Amino acid sequence: MGSIAEHEKAMLFIGLMYREKEVFELAIQDIVDRFGEIILRSPIFDFNFTDYYTPEMGAGLKKSFLAFETPVDPGNLAEIKVFTNNLETRHSSKANGKKQRKINIDPGYTTQSKVVLASTKNRSQRIYMGEGIYAEVTLQYKRGKWEPLPWTYPDFKTPITLDFLTLIRGFL
C-alpha cells in the first residue's frame, strides 16, 4: 500500500477572454480582491482559434492570462471555478431575454509536471471535482517542455501561452 503524501504546490492562473476592455479591467479587480497580487500577465492576444464564442460574446475577442503570487491547493479548483463562473454572470448583460457573457473567465493551475484546467463540461478525459466542476490535464511537462494532449485547446499550444506557463512553473 502506498503512503498518503502531501500534494505538490500549484500556481493558480486565470484566462480572461473579452471584447470590452472596461469589463476586462473590472473583472481583474474582482479577481485580485479574491486571489491576491498578480505576479505575471501574459501579453494580450487575439482569440481567433474558433467561432464557438462569437454568437454569445461577439467577434474580435482578446485573451490574456494572469498568475498569482500565492500557491493554491489543487483540491480547491472546483470552488475557484464556481467563483469565476459567478463573476462571469455578474459582468454579463441580457439581450432578447438571454444572458450574454461579456467575459469568459477560466481558472487552472500549473505544477512542475502538468497544467490542469477546470470546466463545467463533462468529457471522457475529465474527472469530477464536485460542485458541477470537472478537471482535466491539458499539458504535461516532459523532456524540458510542455507537451499537448489530444484534447489540448489550440490557444494552449501557442508560444504566448506556453511561455507564460513556463514562467509560472519557475515560481514553484
- State the CATH class of domain 11-169: alpha beta
State the Cα–Cα distance between residues 114 and 136, nearest whole angstrom: 10
CA distance 30 to 124: 33
Rounded to the nearest 10 degrees, the angle between the axes of helix 21-35 and helix 77-90 is: 140
Question: Which segment of 98-107, 143-152, 155-164 scores lowest on mean pLDDT?
Answer: 98-107
CB-based contacts of 114, cutoff 8 Å, min separation 6? 137, 139, 140, 141
Residue with cell 479587480: 29
Average pLDDT of the residues in 3-24: 94
**pLDDT-derived band of residue 98, with 50, 70 and 90 as boundaries?**
confident
What pLDDT band is residue 85 in, cutting at 50, 70 and 90? very high
Nearest-angstrom CA–CA distance, 85 and 70: 21
- Per-residue cell: 147: 507537451
d(CA 133, CA 38): 24
Full DSSP string of the chain: -PPP-PPPPBEEEEEEEES-HHHHHHHHHHHHHHH--EEEEPPPEE--S-STTHHHH-SS-EEEEEEESS-B-GGGHHHHHHHHHHHHHHT-EEETTEEE-SEEEEEEEE-SSEEEEEESS--TT-EEEETTEEEEEEEEEETTEEEE-TT--GGGGSHHHHHHHHHHHTT-
Q: Is the pTM of this model over 0.85?
A: yes
Q: What is the pLDDT of residue 100?
A: 86
Q: Which of 139, 38, 27 is nearest to 89 (CA)?
A: 27
Q: Where are the domains of the chain?
A: 11-169
- Please write the tens of the pLDDT for every residue from 30-78: 999 999 999 999 999 999 999 999 999 999 999 999 999 999 999 999 9
